[in-house]
Amino acid sequence: MLRRAIAIWCLLAAFGPAAALAAPAGDLSLALRFRPRLLFDQKERWRPLDVDRFLAEPGDQVCPPVGAGPCAPFTSVAQLTPQAAYLDMHGTRGDGSDAVPPDLATCAKTLPTLRECDGDGRSVIYAHVVRKGARIAIDYWWFLRYNAYSLDRHESDWEGVTVIVNRAATSVLEVHFAAHADVWRYDPGVPQIVGGRVKVYLANGDHAAYPRRCTRLCRQTDQTLPESHYGGQVSWIGNAAAGCRRRCVRLLPTDASGAPASWDAWDGRWGAPTSPAFAPPRTPAFQPRYRDPFASKHSGRHHFQIG
């Protein structure tokens, strides 16, 4: 056990959490202060997690493009090169029931039914802070180990919201909600902002973000496509000060120049490709929301419960 603990510590050190120290010291305080209040549907079984700790779990494979050669055991972030097309996470069941941490049976959890360990500081969200003119974008990202809704089933899920505040960081100007292929802003009064922190309702299984709850006949924004429920009955452990302890938010890793670093500098897929229609997500730094956190589509939607 001691030898394995030392190995895990070495892996965590190699993944370079200290790289985020290159960002301005105030960015983390800002991200903590405006962190969203994540509200999960009562049926949701996964939670945001610490990416470095996740990558240190045994059993993952790093793979070239499909058909270009065999996968290799993943042991270090140094393997995430341009030749690595995707990570094949441990777990093989199509329903994601074995997409769990190795110590699930004994770790601290807020609910016994969870497939994730969210106690003891293990549930973490990430932030990317960008200043532009009189506005600051606090671009939040969270990682979950599995996406499971209808036919859309794949390893890993990167989701989030962007909170736009004024230059003095005294008020929230807008909130942009990432949901499926788009990022949406809604009319004033639709997002619920309490104490400077927005409530975010996450859809069961696919984790798309919405400003209001829905518990029946749910639909995606501005589409006729159905959506799983986003009832918001269960609060994320990091919503409360006691559950966060100023460690539930981290900055996405960057180098001294502010460029993406460590695993966030890898342009690959976080999961094995199983369906062309439902691909695992790309790294945050290579997604459009990261590249322009001020951009969004407007929706006039005010009502989310149908029927």
Residues contacting residue 10 through CB under 8 Å, at least 6 positions apart: none
Percent over 90 (pLDDT), the chain: 81
pLDDT tens per residue across span 177-226: 999 989 999 999 999 999 999 999 999 999 999 999 999 999 999 988 99
Inside any domain, residue 305: no
pLDDT band with cut points at 50, 70 and 90 for residue 62? very high
Element (H, E) at 9: helix 2-14
pLDDT band with cut points at 50, 70 and 90 for residue 5? very low
Inside any domain, residue 9: no
CA distance 135 to 66: 43
Mean pLDDT across 43-51: 97
More confident site: 8 or 149 = 149
pLDDT at residue 74, rounded to an integer: 97
Inside any domain, residue 210: yes
Give the predicted TM-score (pTM) of the model.
0.90
Q: Is the pLDDT of residue 28 over 60?
A: yes
Structurally, the chain folds into a number of domains equal to 1
Inside any domain, residue 306: no
pLDDT at residue 27, rounded to an integer: 96
Inside any domain, residue 10: no
Structural domain boundaries enclosing 25: 16-299
Structure tokens at 205: 């299984």
pLDDT tens per residue across span 100-114: 999 999 999 999 999
Inside any domain, residue 245: yes
pLDDT at residue 278, rounded to an integer: 83
Inside any domain, residue 254: yes
Inside any domain, residue 107: yes
pLDDT band with cut points at 50, 70 and 90 for residue 18? very low
Element (H, E) at 6: helix 2-14
